Structure formats: C-alpha cells, structure tokens
Chains A and B, each alone.
Chain A
Amino acid sequence: LAKTTQPISMDSYEGQEVNITCSHNNIATNDYITWYQQFPSQGPRFIIQGYKTKVTNEVASLFIPADRKSSTLSLPRVSLSDTAVYYCLVAITSGTYKYIFGTGTRLKVLA
C-alpha cells in the first residue's frame, strides 16, 4: 500500500526556520507536489506547489530532489500563528492514479 509519510509532530520557537519533509515513493512522474496548512475544523489552505528543484513564494520554500521521492517544506521564520497541521499532497501511481495526502505534521510554535 503506497504511503505518503511525514513526521507526526514538531516543536519550534518563534523566529526559527522549520523544515518538514514528506516521503512519497510512488509519486506520479507528471504531477505537482502541493503543501497545505490546516487549522482545526477548517479546510486545508494552499501554501506552495512545485514540480522539481526549488520553489519559493512569499510564505514558504519547497525543495524537491531530482528523484522527487520526497519534498521539504521550509517555513523561514515561524510565528505562533503558524501552529497548525501541515500536509503534503501528491499524485501517486500504485495500481491507479490518485491523489494522496501525507500523514500530516503537527507543528507547534512556542513563544
């Protein structure tokens, strides 16, 4: 069974850089990797999307190695409001083609 795995939880202090990695061995060759942020009882909110190498926007960076079997979300200087669950979303090919969410990483930012 294809799995898309992430660390269960991480703690960080305000102002620090946080890196969250997602492993996705069965990723489809022709689709993007997307990361989302989710607060309790809300839908996931788009953070960043990439296909390969490095992508940066105003809130995060996404690093994708050449084999694309993993990806790392980098939040440059976290604040208390970044406390949330972070998910990667990838398309996998494991019998069928479908989108799979990662297991999720619960980030807690401490003052």
Chain B
Amino acid sequence: GAVVSQHPSRVICKSGTSVKIECRSLDFQATTMFWYRQFPKKSLMLMATSNEGSKATYEQGVEKDKFLINHASLTLSTLTVTSAHPEDSSFYICSASGRRNEQFFGPGTRLTVL
C-alpha cells in the first residue's frame, strides 16, 4: 500500500500556542487528503477534506479559523491548530486518497496542550 507520513508524531505545547502538523504522501500524488481527530477509545471523526490547490471543506462543528488546512502540493497537506487549548488535545490522523478512493493513513500525531 501507499505510504503516508506525519510529522511530528508527538507534540506537547502550552495553551495559546499554535501547532503545525504535516502530512505527506511519500510514493504517490494525492489530490485529496483528509484530516481526522480521534479521542481515547473513540472512532475517528472527520474534520475536513483537503483538495490540492483549493480551500478545505470542513465538517459541521469544526472551526475553520482554528484548524487551518493548507494543501499546497499533491504530496503535502498541513493542519495548524491555532491558539491551542487543553480541549484540543487529541490524536490527529491524516489520510491520502488513492485511485479507488481508498484512504491510506498516516501514523498519527498525538497533541497534548498543557
């Protein structure tokens, strides 16, 4: 399967700071990438769909000004959590979409906001 990387794998930050998470598709070009959030013992919840060269589509209840998504190239999408607060602490996972709409997932980023 295709390889998707995320960086960083783990980040701890102070409340009020911003954190950027990178998602890269290493061996294929992905016109569409997805960002998910997962709380402990819960399923993955779609936050937004990111299309290369256009604005991301956010799911209901996800603040676009707080979770900034940029998909500047076919292999890179970034999620920036602005002015992070403790309730933003979660496991953030990206995926890149293949030719049959199968999604290949990154390893996830564990965000802890103090």
Residues of A within 8 A of B (CB): 31-32, 34, 36, 41-46, 49, 87, 89, 91, 98-104
> Tally of A-B residue pairs with Cβ under 8 A?
51
Are A104 and B43 in contact, with the CB atoms below 8 A? Answer: yes
Smallest Cβ-Cβ distance to A6: which chain B residue? B43
Q: A43-B93, A43-B108 are in contact. Are A87 and B101 (CB under 8 A)?
A: no
- Which of B6, B46, B95 contacts A98 (CB under 8 A)? B46
Is the beta-carbon distance between B46 and A99 smaller than 8 angstroms? yes
User: With A and B bound together, what is the CA distance between A44 and B102 in angstroms?
Assistant: 12
Residues of B within 8 A of A43 (CB): 4, 6, 93, 95, 105-108
Q: Which one, B1, B6, B43, contacts A46 given CB within 8 A?
A: B1
A49 to B99 alpha-carbon distance, docked (Å): 13
Q: Are A44 and B105 in contact (CB under 8 A)?
A: yes
Report Cα–Cα, A104/B43, bound state, in Å. Answer: 6
**Are A42's CB and B108's CB within 8 A?**
yes
Other-chain contact of B102, A41, A46, A101 (Cβ < 8 Å) = A46
Which 4 A-B pairs have CB atoms at the shortest separation, nearest pair first? A43-B105, A101-B44, A44-B105, A101-B43
In the assembled complex, which residues on chain B have CB atoms less than 8 Å from the CB atom of A34? 102-103
Interface centre among A31, A43, A46 (most CB of B within 10 A): A43
B63: Cβ under 8 A from any A Cβ: no
Establish whether residues B105 and A91, one from each chain, have CB atoms under 8 Å apart when the complex forms: no
> Besides A43-B4, A98-B59, 5 other CB < 8 A contacts?
A46-B1, A91-B101, A100-B46, A101-B44, A101-B46
- Which residues from chain B contact A89 at a C-beta distance below 8 Å? 103
* In the complex, chain B residues 47-87 whose Cβ is within 8 Å of any chain A Cβ: 49, 59
